[in-house]
Amino acid sequence: MEAQNLFPEPRALKSKRKKVDPKGYKVVSVRLREGEFETLSQQTTAMGMTNNMALRIAARRISGFLELDRETRLELQAISDTIGYISDDLRELLELCATRPGFDNERFSAHRADFAKEFMQLDRLLRALLSVSRRRTDGCKLLRADI
């Protein structure tokens, strides 16, 4: 009877170099306790998401990305546009009222200037939120700052 080799020839060692997913994704592994996993699974299922999608959103938020759905972006854009229209109307109102007796032009102008200042700050923030490329740049900048 021929002796059977219990120890087959060793396989070629696998490369220790990290493989990159062909679609450009990296794999991140997360260990969760059973209760954490169950809660995550229940919540993601209720929202119609997979666990992977929920964890990806969480990672993006941690990285400085802000997830805004299409409806929220459109609503914020509409608010920004409306405030712009109000600003234009105030300018026109100032021109109409400036010629009327008893109109406090200085007070109105001061309020209009305060509104314009606040609106410009709000508009700047809204544009940053609504600009996908800017959010990605900001997120990358935050990642580089941590490295």
- Domain for residue 98, yes or no? yes
Q: Is 15 within a domain?
A: no
Burial of 49 (0-12, 13-18, 19+ CB in 10 A): middle
Predicted confidence (pLDDT) per residue in 84-97, tens digit: 888 888 888 888 88
The answer to whether residue 134 is domain-embedded is yes
State pLDDT tens for residues 34-82.
999 999 999 989 888 888 888 887 887 776 666 666 777 788 888 888 8
pLDDT in tens, 103-124: 888 888 888 888 888 888 888 8
Query: What's the total number of domains in the chain?
Result: 2
- Residue 116 and residue 58 share a domain: no
CA 14, 16, 17, 23: dihedral to nearest 10 degrees? 60
- Expressed as residue numbers, the domain containing 140 is 68-146
| Same domain? 37 vs 107 | no
Same-domain pairing of 106 and 123: yes
Query: Does the pLDDT value for residue 126 go beyond 90?
Result: no
Return the pLDDT at 145.
59
pTM: 0.42
Based on the fold, state whether residues 119 and 52 are members of the same structural domain: no
Last residue of some domain: 62, 81, 107?
62
Contact 132/69 with Cβ under 8 angstroms? Answer: no
Q: Are 43 and 122 in contact (CB under 8 A)?
A: no
